[in-house]
Amino acid sequence: RSVTTYLIEDEYNNQFWSDNGVFNSKNMESNTGIRSSAMFPLSTIELRGDLVYYLSKGQSDIGDSYSGEYEYFDPEITEYENNYSETHLLNLEEKEDGAGIILGGSIRNTFSKQEERKNDGYWEIGFSFNLGSYDYTNSISLEFVSNETSLDGELSYDDFIRTISDEYSTTDNGTGKLNIIKINSRFNIPLGEKVQFGIGGFLNRSTNNRETKFREFVNDITNYNYTDSEYNDDDYVTTETSQLTADRTYDIYSTTFTCPVGMEYHLGDKNNWSLRFGTIFISTSQTVNDAKQITDSEPDVTETEYGDGDVTIDIENNIYESISEHTRTASSSTVFTYGLGYNPTKNLQIDMLG
């Protein structure tokens, strides 16, 4: 978009500004697996076992760019300039490529047999273990460039041309391990011929442990030129650099507990209408531990070179061996649900609400 301000009485453009940007993001995920299951009926008890081998790939890309500028005009001043422009670039790429196995099992006891299996009175307890590993790569690149010119057409100390160029980049490459334990239970209890009551409990605990080699690089340059100054030492170029390499451990511990409760009423002469009410309680907690053990680093160095050739160097040699960050979040929610279903035939159900 762009805007131009036109002064009708003076008959000239007083101001012009514009900005535009392109913001792209892409997420891709693919999963391939082989599943095998076995079930063993024993009177009213069913034993089931599951084994899954899977391959998974995930990738996230972000490519953003933004540019903006403005310019003021004054036709009465011959050498008048007042303009500014800036550009921002962000590129992020994250990939995970791994494999794993899932081992699960369940036991179900049917204590009240009904015409349809879904209406049986039963309890069921199940579990699963997910053991996986993956390769991890992450790269981030940030760039900022700005140019500013301020010339009022007169010999004054405040006329200048300034350019700024900032670069920041990181790489984070290594491997990770994923462990997930799931425990679930279900109870379905018929309360007469027309009423079904159900309640469940689902516990999901996962750990994601990642070990990577982390690298960070910073390079900022500022060039300031006083155009009306008679002394070159007023002009300067400042360059600030720093970098580090670290062994990074990034651990995520998550726990989710879900408890759904519901009741279904069968309506109609043929019991082919169903009215349902329920609620779902969800509680989650997550702990993130991010630690970097510094293996190599260069201090924050600021070098300023003035127009007369003088150079000053400022070194912030902060000596540290590690950085760690600990974050914990917790939340809970309750969702109320309802629904209306219709069974025109024994093998067909149509849900019209919730």
pLDDT-derived band at 320 (thresholds 50, 70, 90) equals low
Cα separation, 214 vs 59, in Å, equals: 19
CA-nearest of 93, 238, 87, 65 to 169 is 93
Q: Which residue has the higher pLDDT, 14 or 315?
A: 315
**φ, ψ (nearest 5 deg) of residue 119:** -100, 5
pLDDT digits 0-9 by tens, 29-87: 999 999 999 999 888 899 999 999 999 999 999 999 999 998 887 777 777 788 999 99
Cα separation, 228 vs 157, in Å, equals: 6
Chain centre to alpha carbon of residue 242 = 27
CA-nearest of 44, 226, 208, 246 to 132 is 208
Q: Is the pLDDT of residue 262 over 80?
A: yes
CA separation (Å) from 349 to 114, 274, 344? Answer: 18, 10, 7
Residue 134's CB is within 10 A of a number of other CB atoms, namely: 20
pLDDT confidence of residue 232? 64
Residue 108's CB is within 10 A of a number of other CB atoms, namely: 18
Cα separation, 301 vs 283, in Å, equals: 48
Q: What is the pTM of this model?
A: 0.80
Cα separation, 174 vs 59, in Å, equals: 15
pLDDT digits 0-9 by tens, 147-204: 998 887 766 667 888 999 999 999 999 999 999 999 999 999 988 878 889 999 999 9
DSSP for 82-108 reads EEEEEEEEEEEEEEEEEEEEEEEEEEE
CA separation (Å) from 347 to 75, 140, 268, 343? Answer: 82, 53, 17, 8
Cα separation, 290 vs 252, in Å, equals: 9
- Report whether 235 contacts 222 (CB < 8 A): no
